[in-house]
């Protein structure tokens, strides 16, 4: 049987994202949303989650291109005076790996992000990360310790079939080859550790290589050849105008991604192919 999880990232980033999440949940095939606890519209996202309790919410761990939960004076090596993480994922990744003195600060901040979501009354069940920072070796080592403490049972890996992606979207080939290599190696190293702890994951995750470009046409093409078992597809839906997402992701097709999740043609094709749309808990959407 083919099972499919549909997730929205960046829940809480802005009102435009939050409204898109609720719309995709009510009118589309969305089953999960990953929340950013330090983001400006976190409180609004919590209200949406509370009035839609069947929408599964996970942590979108944010340690780059975002705001911290702990005050800046407790994270002097991680954030600026306003609590902003670096916006450069490459230099940030090297810094987190090379500067071992940051380990304790990272652990406190990661724990604070998990705790903020739980304290808001959300049954936190899965973890992924902004720009896939959750797979960074230092961050992942911390998560291996914290996930069992907080009862988190599912985790997003980031391995996607490159050939399948390029069949329908040949843009950015070099970048995709590089991302496929990096995230593939990180996933291969992470998988045995997750299995050791009994933490579940999807066999393939789509959205890694065409992030921000998960259009209806692309979605209709890729669901023809989903692998058996569990697949996750993640999106970045949004409703414009929205200054925050336009500033941070000017080239993302937010409204097209929302249209893909709410497409009746996509829903009909999933039903025709007998693909079960569910969340990480196994609860069926359609």
pLDDT digits (tens, 9 = 90+) for 131-151: 999 999 999 999 999 999 999
Question: Per the domain annotation, does 111 fall within a domain?
Answer: yes
Question: Per the domain annotation, does 167 fall within a domain?
Answer: yes
What is the total count of domains within the chain?
Answer: 1
Question: Per the domain annotation, does 182 fall within a domain?
Answer: yes
Question: Per the domain annotation, does 20 fall within a domain?
Answer: yes
pLDDT given at position 285: 80
pLDDT given at position 58: 97
Question: Per the domain annotation, does 232 fall within a domain?
Answer: yes
Whether residue 107 is predicted with pLDDT greater than 80 in this model: the reply is: yes
> Which residues constitute the domain of residue 59?
2-277
pLDDT given at position 212: 96
Buried/exposed code over 89-104 (b: 16+ C-beta within 10 A; e: otherwise): beebbebbeeeeebee
The CATH number for 227's domain is 3.20.20.370
* Token couple for 62: 């944010």
Question: Per the domain annotation, does 271 fall within a domain?
Answer: yes
Average pLDDT over residues 5-19: 98
Determine the angle formed by the axes of helices 89-98 and 137-149, rounding to 10 degrees.
70
Q: Is the pTM of this model over 0.85?
A: yes
Question: Per the domain annotation, does 131 fall within a domain?
Answer: yes
**Average pLDDT in the chain:** 96
Whether residue 286 is predicted with pLDDT greater than 70 in this model: the reply is: no
Question: Per the domain annotation, does 183 fall within a domain?
Answer: yes
């Amino acid at each position: 049987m083919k099972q499919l999880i549909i997730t929205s990232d960046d829940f809480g980033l802005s009102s435009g994202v939050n409204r898109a999440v609720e719309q995709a949940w009510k009118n589309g095939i969305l089953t999960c949303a990953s929340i950013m606890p330090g983001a400006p519209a976190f409180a609004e996202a919590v209200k949406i989650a509370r009035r839609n309790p069947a929408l599964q919410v996970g942590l979108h761990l944010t340690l780059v291109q975002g705001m911290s939960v702990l005050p800046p004076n407790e994270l002097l090596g991680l954030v600026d005076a306003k609590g902003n993480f670096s916006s450069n994922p490459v230099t940030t990744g090297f810094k987190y790996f090379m500067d071992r003195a940051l380990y304790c600060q990272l652990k406190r901040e990661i724990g604070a992000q998990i705790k903020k979501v739980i304290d808001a009354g959300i049954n936190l069940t899965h973890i992924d990360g902004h720009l896939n920072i959750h797979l960074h070796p230092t961050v992942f080592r911390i998560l291996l310790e914290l996930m069992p403490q907080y009862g988190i049972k599912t985790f997003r890996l980031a391995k996607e079939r490159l050939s399948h992606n390029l069949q329908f979207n040949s843009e950015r080939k070099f970048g995709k080859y590089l991302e496929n290599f990096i995230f593939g190696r990180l996933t291969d190293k992470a998988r045995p550790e997750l299995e050791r702890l009994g933490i579940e994951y999807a066999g393939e995750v789509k959205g890694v290589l065409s992030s921000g470009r998960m259009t209806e046409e692309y979605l209709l093409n890729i669901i023809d050849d989903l692998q058996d078992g569990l697949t996750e597809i993640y999106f970045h839906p949004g409703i414009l105008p929205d200054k925050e997402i336009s500033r941070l992701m000017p080239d993302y097709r937010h409204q097209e991604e929302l249209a893909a999740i709410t497409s009746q043609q996509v829903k009909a094709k999933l039903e025709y192919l007998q693909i079960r749309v569910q969340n990480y808990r196994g609860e069926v959407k359609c």
